[in-house]
A and B are shown apart, each in its own frame.
Chain A
């Protein structure tokens, strides 16, 4: 008898205990900050110190959100009215959440920033709606090609490829069976085999060839000659030039391992690889170049996070003071540049940490090439994109069929 009462009491108690996440204190402001990047914690600490020094009663609390949970977690919070004050979310997700009125406009505040022109405009465009700006660039991820120069020089090339022609020539020259067992164990390049990979590294091929997936007003402009040529290139890389392995499901993940063990010469990577390459393969001399282009104009996928104030924030002014601080020189340099993160402000690139790692400077040239697709149905494009690219590479559909059907499928996915 007692046991059951205890059990019931326990059950309801635990329910009640965890139901309230803790009541707010009346006078002090508590800001909740979310980011998928754990580095933000350092910024939050510095902000709190600053607030204390200024005698303001504002405290920020940080929570790191796992990369794959940044949307589900936010969804759950929004629908229970417990969204954080400030969220730094993957930029491609913004159009959907702007549609859901999840963020508060910060146009006036943005216009008054002294360094507003140093922020990459393409990234801001993602968070524009009806003439208002809703979020600002914070962490940047740019897609590039990392080229193993040791192997290139061995094969008689001293410059990484810039055009498709050079890309193919070098790719074929360095693809080899080094140990003579009849199987190729050093590949020129590789294809992307995840949906995200085909967006992040695949789209710059298309843009550099004069095409686009989504035009203004979310119009699908994928069914074009430019797309066909890109599909043909990828098909040929495997079947005609034999400079890339046939894709396997883990290839995107394996590509990095292959690159650091010298089995892959030209690797689709980005600024986020630089820190790990320092420890994983310090001996490899590699160069960072943009994705090869046929037209002479190179592009990179301007990915990363935008930081914004959610519409459920209780204290807009305090939240903005956090964003303003987070974008200032001290936290950006002392937290992000120190970890070789790519800074959202080009005027801060000349800092003591980047000078230690000259390769970071390659991104000064690459950053202006950034472009980002904008769609509130971004997540739904993933599946058809991967499907039709793979169908074409596997030879199950001709390039022509794959592009036509793929464009139609993407348009359908974006309809609702």
Chain B
């Protein structure tokens, strides 16, 4: 492992990696190509590799479907992502701060309770959650879904943020307290900037959880008011007994773009955060 590899070894290595990377992206590229074809070409066999002509007609179809209901679904998803992220910051930060700086009898128990959520995942609670949302009149609403998203993604965030806050030397807080600063101020103006890498990890985590959710949105949102993009893919593409692959592929591309962009921007922090946080 300490031996030096020769120039040929290096070339072979990169050639292999590039080949594998191409293979990894081939499915996505094929989806993108298909989405740029006209309908008759989509289902042509043998398949034509390059679309001729290159067209955005499939995107037009999906965005124009039922007066733009697909855009509505996109909008719903974005709103729910924003609400969950906002709530996450508002709820997880104070909690993590309390776990680090206000230890009291029983706070450990509460911490374990928070972590317990990670052990009983929401997937096994769909039936009671459904009943609960109906009782709270939150069935088929964006807030209803948001509350569930935040409840089931917050343990991870509290865990990450707690670790990040604990790694900051406590002397900073102590000297600030002596200067007369309040805890809420210390948290917002001093600790918040220091924990941004951990926060990025949490943002990616929450973003992926909410944007990519299918099960909850399918079960707990039953109209265009609250359904998200993943359900839209399934619902718009499988109309009664027909399946329009041009539209499906266009929808898949649209649904992937935001997460990939978000990830590429935050990947540095995310990768670092995941590798430091999850093994400890």
Please say whether the chains A and B touch (CB closer than 8 A): yes
Instruction: Check A73–B91 contact: CB distance below 8 A.
Output: no
**Whole-angstrom distance from the CB of A337 to the nearest CB of chain B?**
20
A85 partner residues in chain B, CB cutoff 8 A: none
Per the bound structure, the CA–CA distance linking A261 and B238 in Å amounts to: 19
B188 contacts chain A at the CB level, 8 A cutoff: yes
B240 partner residues in chain A, CB cutoff 8 A: 67, 272
B2 partner residues in chain A, CB cutoff 8 A: none
Question: Given A7-B90, A257-B245, A276-B242, is A18 in contact with B222 using a C-beta cutoff of 8 Å?
Answer: no
Q: Mark B142-154, 1 if CB is under 8 A from A, else 0.
A: 0110000000000
Instruction: Check A7–B94 contact: CB distance below 8 A.
Output: yes
B66 contacts chain A at the CB level, 8 A cutoff: yes
Question: Given A64-B223, A64-B224, A197-B241, is A80 in contact with B90 using a C-beta cutoff of 8 Å?
Answer: no
Give the interface residue-count category, chain B.
35 or more
Instruction: Check B222–A65 contact: CB distance below 8 A.
Output: yes
A72 partner residues in chain B, CB cutoff 8 A: 219, 222
B91 partner residues in chain A, CB cutoff 8 A: 7
Instruction: Check A261–B243 contact: CB distance below 8 A.
Output: no
A3 contacts chain B at the CB level, 8 A cutoff: yes
A19 contacts chain B at the CB level, 8 A cutoff: yes
Instruction: Check B138–A76 contact: CB distance below 8 A.
Output: no
Instruction: Check B130–A253 contact: CB distance below 8 A.
Output: no
**Whole-angstrom distance from the CB of A23 to the nearest CB of chain B?**
13
B25 contacts chain A at the CB level, 8 A cutoff: no
Question: Given A18-B137, A65-B223, A69-B222, is A252 in contact with B143 using a C-beta cutoff of 8 Å?
Answer: no
Q: Mark B28-56, 1 if CB is under 8 A from A, else 0.
A: 00000000000110011100000000000
**Whole-angstrom distance from the CB of B228 to the nearest CB of chain A?**
13
Instruction: Check B223–A15 contact: CB distance below 8 A.
Output: no
Partner of A38, one of B44, B66, B138, B245: B66
A73 partner residues in chain B, CB cutoff 8 A: 140, 222-223
Per the bound structure, the CA–CA distance linking A3 and B131 in Å amounts to: 31
B144 partner residues in chain A, CB cutoff 8 A: 18
B239 partner residues in chain A, CB cutoff 8 A: 67
**Whole-angstrom distance from the CB of A178 to the nearest CB of chain B?**
11
**Whole-angstrom distance from the CB of B216 to the nearest CB of chain A?**
13
Q: Which of A250-268 contact B (CB under 8 A)?
A: 250, 252-257, 261
Q: Mark B121-141, 1 if CB is under 8 A from A, else 0.
A: 000000000110011111111
Instruction: Check B90–A66 contact: CB distance below 8 A.
Output: no
Q: Which of A1-27 contact B (CB under 8 A)?
A: 1-4, 6-7, 10-11, 14-15, 17-21
Instruction: Check A19–B222 contact: CB distance below 8 A.
Output: no
Per the bound structure, the CA–CA distance linking A132 and B242 in Å amounts to: 37
Instruction: Check A253–B141 contact: CB distance below 8 A.
Output: no
Per the bound structure, the CA–CA distance linking A28 and B241 in Å amounts to: 41
A415 contacts chain B at the CB level, 8 A cutoff: no
Per the bound structure, the CA–CA distance linking A261 and B43 in Å amounts to: 8
Instruction: Check A18–B138 contact: CB distance below 8 A.
Output: yes
A400 contacts chain B at the CB level, 8 A cutoff: no
B183 contacts chain A at the CB level, 8 A cutoff: yes
A18 partner residues in chain B, CB cutoff 8 A: 137-138, 141, 143-144
Q: Which of A185, A194, A196, A253 has the most CB of B within 10 A?
A: A253
Instruction: Check B138–A63 contact: CB distance below 8 A.
Output: no
Q: Which of B140, B239, B241 has the most CB of A within 10 A?
A: B241
B182 contacts chain A at the CB level, 8 A cutoff: yes
A54 contacts chain B at the CB level, 8 A cutoff: no
B235 contacts chain A at the CB level, 8 A cutoff: yes
B184 contacts chain A at the CB level, 8 A cutoff: yes
A68 contacts chain B at the CB level, 8 A cutoff: yes
Q: Which of B214-236 contact A (CB under 8 A)?
A: 219, 222-224, 227, 235
B235 partner residues in chain A, CB cutoff 8 A: 66-68
Question: Given A73-B222, A252-B241, is A1 in contact with B140 using a C-beta cutoff of 8 Å?
Answer: no
Instruction: Check B184–A1 contact: CB distance below 8 A.
Output: yes
Per the bound structure, the CA–CA distance linking A18 and B140 in Å amounts to: 11
A79 contacts chain B at the CB level, 8 A cutoff: yes
A280 contacts chain B at the CB level, 8 A cutoff: yes
Per the bound structure, the CA–CA distance linking A2 and B139 in Å amounts to: 31
Instruction: Check A6–B90 contact: CB distance below 8 A.
Output: yes
Q: Mark A378-399, 1 if CB is under 8 A from B, else 0.
A: 0000000000000000000000
Instruction: Check B184–A2 contact: CB distance below 8 A.
Output: yes
Q: Mark B85-105, 1 if CB is under 8 A from A, else 0.
A: 001001101100000000000
Per the bound structure, the CA–CA distance linking A2 and B135 in Å amounts to: 31
Instruction: Check B222–A261 contact: CB distance below 8 A.
Output: no
Per the bound structure, the CA–CA distance linking A4 and B92 in Å amounts to: 10
Partner of A14, one of B93, B134, B143, B245: B143
Partner of A76, one of B45, B87, B139: B139
B188 partner residues in chain A, CB cutoff 8 A: 3
A17 partner residues in chain B, CB cutoff 8 A: 143
Q: Which of B44, B182, B240 has the most CB of A within 10 A?
A: B240
Instruction: Check B90–A280 contact: CB distance below 8 A.
Output: no
Residues of A participating in the B interface, judged by any CB pair closer than 8 Å: 1-4, 6-7, 10-11, 14-15, 17-21, 38, 63-69, 72-73, 76, 79-80, 82, 185, 194, 196-197, 250, 252-257, 261, 269, 272-273, 276, 280
5 smallest beta-carbon distances between A and B, as pairs: A253-B243, A73-B222, A69-B222, A256-B242, A7-B90
Q: Could you list 5 examples of A-B contacts with CB < 8 Å?
A: A1-B184, A3-B187, A18-B144, A69-B223, A276-B242
Q: Given A69-B223, A79-B131, A252-B241, list of 16 further CB < 8 A pairs?
A: A3-B90, A7-B94, A18-B141, A19-B138, A38-B66, A63-B223, A65-B222, A67-B235, A68-B235, A72-B219, A73-B222, A76-B222, A194-B241, A256-B242, A256-B243, A272-B241
